[in-house]
Structure 1
């Protein structure tokens, strides 16, 4: 996925928005394409994923920073 997104959203593009670093616009654009959240059905207490489905967590920033992940389960 990362390699495909690197083709669509190249870091070499002459980005104007680099307030938080050189990977600022790249990471924001990739996040806009992928989306910031995910909804997964739960059936009988288990994730209801299809045969070839999985959950992947990726980080588009290269510079050092910290992240918090929030998981909300609604019965």
Structure 2
């Protein structure tokens, strides 16, 4: 039986404003650095105006349509009470609530179990560039404990 191991890391992502940022390779790289084999990778975005998702990575029109839909669901022109940080702040909180701030991704044989057309994305909901922190945690077996 393989010995369980645990590892943690803080991934910093620089955004350029609203949009999807593919972090799949960053996660793959970190799993390689820690020699992960089988277990669970958890990613948690440490912000209330950004989120995480697993989505199609082949056609960029999917991500454009998703951003358009989020804009319709939480428009900047609505009369929000919380408006001290600008017109995009409250809609960003709503968008983060509608999506995910945490993802659990199975890892088998050192690789994330993702479908052929799936990628892992940070979604920046604010208009201005930001530095976002994503807490990563892996629990499972490592290549060295095989």
Q: TM-score scaled by structure 2?
A: 0.47
Question: In 2, Cα distance between the equivalents of 1:54 and 1:9?
Answer: 24
How many residues end up aligned between the 2 structures? 75
What residue ranges of structure 2 are gaps of 5+ in the alignment? 1-65, 141-146
User: Which protein, 1 or 2, shows the higher relative CO under an 8 Å CA cutoff with sep ≥ 6?
Assistant: 2
| SS of alignment partner, residue 71 of structure 1 | strand
Calculate the aligned-residue CA RMSD, in Å.
Answer: 1.5
Per-residue CA deviation, residues 28-65 of structure 1 (Å, 9 max, x unaligned), is 00000002111111011001012232212110011344
Q: TM-score scaled by structure 1?
A: 0.85
| SS of alignment partner, residue 69 of structure 2 | helix
Q: Which has the larger radius of gyration?
A: 2
